[in-house]
Amino acid sequence: MTQAPDMWNSAYDNDTAPWIIGEPQPAILALERAGRIRGRILDPGAGAGEHTIALTAAGYDIRGVDLSPSAVAYARRNATAKGVPGARFEVADMVALADSPDNPLGTFDTIVDSALFHVFSDDEARTAYVRALHRLCEPGGCVHILALSDAEPGFGPRIGADLLRDSFAGPGWELEDLRPDHYYGRVTEANADQLGDLTVDATGKVKVVAWLARIRRTG
């Protein structure tokens, strides 16, 4: 199965994407400081490219992919503007990769999913995405997922911890850690009516609760 990129293209073309904050998510930077990001790295759903840009600048071997051609174009411009023109981005459909006869991306030691897993509200698409992660992750490699939590009001698609547990309960995975964390977004017309009592800081950013999962590919 494949996905249509139109909605995502529109968010970048019209500058309404609430996840574009001009910097990496603090939770992802904390993983790097803790030594949890290593080897060959994939950034699926790379979006504006902040994590690929930051990790490329730090000397990591990382590739950012996104379903949306507009997102990839945005990320490349962003990388050039930030002085990291060597950051690598390409268009790829993660769901389609689950069963594609070819794997043009290869395999990775670390996969860093910042706010992609939670967009798969359809069980079939989510299951295919998890299969793609298994295909792309080296045995013994690690998948980190930062996903919006339904524990408090917020914006965007929010999920419960059980969905993460259940999605990686099958053979070939070990859920090593699952803990509360935070995700930062910005206020745009796409999410202004979802914020409720959430506090918006002086820079226009809003902090919401999230899940941070670490999953090991075991076979």
What does the pLDDT look like over 73-122, one tens digit per residue? Answer: 999 999 999 999 999 999 999 999 999 999 999 999 999 999 999 999 99
DSSP string covering 6-59 = HHHHHHHHTT--TT--SS--HHHHHHHHTT---SEEEEET-TT-HHHHHHHHTT
pLDDT, mean of residues 183-188: 84
How far apart are the C-alpha atoms of 212 and 183, rounded to whole Å?
10
pLDDT of residue 1: 45
* Neighbour count for residue 39 (Cβ, 10 Å): 15
How far apart are the C-alpha atoms of 66 and 45, rounded to whole Å?
5
Q: Residue 55 pLDDT > 50, yes or no?
A: yes
What does the pLDDT look like over 116-167, one tens digit per residue? Answer: 999 999 999 999 999 999 999 999 999 999 999 998 877 778 999 999 999 9
**Average model confidence (pLDDT) across the chain:** 92
Comparing 16-25, 38-47, 69-78, the range with the smallest average pLDDT is 16-25
Task: Write down all domains in the chain, each with its CATH number in brackets.
Answer: 29-45+94-217 (3.40.50.150)
Give the confidence band of 193 by pLDDT, cuts at 50, 70, 90: low
Q: Residue 190 pLDDT > 70, yes or no?
A: no
Give the confidence band of 11 by pLDDT, cuts at 50, 70, 90: confident
pLDDT of residue 216: 99
Max distance between CA atoms of the chain, in angstroms, equals 49
DSSP code of residue 123:
H
Q: Residue 6 pLDDT > 50, yes or no?
A: yes
Give me the residue label for tokens 């949306």.
68
pLDDT of residue 195: 57
